[in-house]
Amino acid sequence: MDYLGIDHVEFYVGDASQAAFVLCSAFGFRLCGQGGPETGMAGQRSLLLAQGDCRVLLTSGLLPDHPAVQYVSRHGDGVAVIAFRTQDTQAAWTGSVAGGAAAIEAPRTYSGGGASVVTATVSGFGDVVHRLVERHGTEGEFLPGAIEMLDDRPPAEPELLRTIDHAAVCLEPGTLEATTRFYHSAFGFDLIFEEYIEVGGQGMFSQVVQSPGGGATLTLIQPDLTHSPGQIDDFLAWHRGPGVQHLALSSHDIVAAVDTLGDRGVGFAPTPDSYYSSLDGRLGAVDLPVDRLRPRGILVDRDHWGQMYQIFAKSLHVRRTFFWELIERHGARTFGTSNIPALYEAKERELAAVRQTTQAGL
C-alpha cells in the first residue's frame, strides 16, 4: 500500500483560537473550517487552517477526559495526528494492523456536500497516531458533517507555503532501529537516508523513512547517550516523551517566504557568516545567489538529484518543543550531508540561552 502524501496534521492545543491566530497572522494560513459539539464533534472545538495544499487541524478539548486535554497536560501544545492520504483506507488500515500497528479507530465514512471521506486511525510513535484518509468527490470538503467549511475566499496575497514536506520525530534512545522497522512493516515505508550528526559535544542518529512513491516522509532522530546531552535530550525531557519536533513546509520561493514571515514577526535560527565563505568549495555552483541566502541565514545542500534550501524558524512554543522549517527543493528528493548538522548547529545556538533558564519537564 502506497501513501499519496501527508493529508493533514492535527495539533492538540490548549486554545485553538489563539493557536489559529498565530498561524494565520505570522505564517499566512487562513481559517477555512470549524467543528465542535454543534457539528457532532462532542467535547472538542476544532479549527481547520489551510495554505497551498497544507491542511492543519487545531483541536482543543472541552471536557477534562478528552484526549486533547490529556495530551496538552502532558506534552503542551503539539502534533497529535499525522494523517496519510491513501486510495483505499480499508486496505491501508488492514495492512498496517497486520504489520504491527495498533488499531485505534476502524474505518468510518463522512459524507455530505458532494464528498465522501473514509478515515481510520492506527498507532504511530509515543502519543502520536496516524489517521488514514481516503477522499472522493468535492475537493473543498474536509470531514463532511463534522467540519463545517467556511467561506474560503481566494487569498489576498500569493501563498508562499505549499505542502508539508516532512515531519521530524524525536525518539527515545535505543528505539530508532525498531521504529524504522515498524514503519516498513506497518506502512511499507523505505529507509532512504541515514546519518550520524555531531553538534559540539552532542551526537544524534538520524534515519529517514518514506512511502514508496515519495509522498510521505518522516525523519527519525534519537540522541547518542555516549555524548553530552543536547537538544534531542531537551526535547524528550521538556515534551515528556517522543514526539514531533518540527514540520517542514515546502515553498516555491524560500527567500520571499523568509522575508514575508520575518516582517510578520517570525524569527529564524542564525547562521554564521563562515558557512557561506566555504560554500563554493563544498557544493560548487548553486541556483540561488549567495548574496540572497547569506543575509537571511538560508542553508543550501544537494543530493544525487538536485539542490535544497532550508531554514529553521525559532520556536514559538512555551516549552521550545516544536518549531517550523521552510524548505525549497530544486530536484532534490532526500537530504544532503551538510545541511542537517548546520541546521541543528543553528538551533543549538538558539537553545543554548533557553537551556540556562528552562527546567526540563515543565
pTM of the model: 0.94
Averaged pLDDT for residues 217-243: 95
d(CA 310, CA 155): 25
Closest CA to 329 of 298, 311, 302, 290: 302
Q: Which residue has the higher pLDDT, 31 or 357?
A: 31
d(CA 86, CA 321): 29
- φ/ψ region of 206 (left if φ > 0, alpha if ψ in -120 to 50, else beta) reads beta
Dihedral sign (CA 42, 43, 45, 46): negative
Q: Which residues pair with 301 in a beta bridge?
A: 308
Averaged pLDDT for residues 74-80: 98
Tens digit of pLDDT for each residue in 313-356?
999 999 999 999 999 999 999 998 777 777 778 777 777 766 66
| pLDDT at res. 337 | 77
What's the DSSP call for residue 314? P
Tens digit of pLDDT for each residue in 269-321?
988 888 898 888 788 889 999 999 999 999 999 999 999 999 999 999 999 99
| pLDDT at res. 360 | 46
In this predicted structure, which of 161-175, 189-203, 225-239, 328-342 has the lowest mean pLDDT? 328-342
Q: How far is CA 237 from the centre of its chain?
A: 19
Q: Which residue has the higher pLDDT, 262 or 336?
A: 262
pLDDT category at 362 given cuts 50, 70, 90 is very low
- Going along the chain from its start, the domains and CATH numbers come out as 5-149 (3.10.180.10), 161-357 (3.10.180.10)
pLDDT at 112 over 80: yes
d(CA 104, CA 107): 10
CA-only gyration radius of the chain, Å: 20
Cβ atoms of 47 and 33 closer than 8 Å: yes
Strand 243-251, strand 323-330: pairing: parallel
Tens digit of pLDDT for each residue in 172-189?
999 999 999 999 999 999
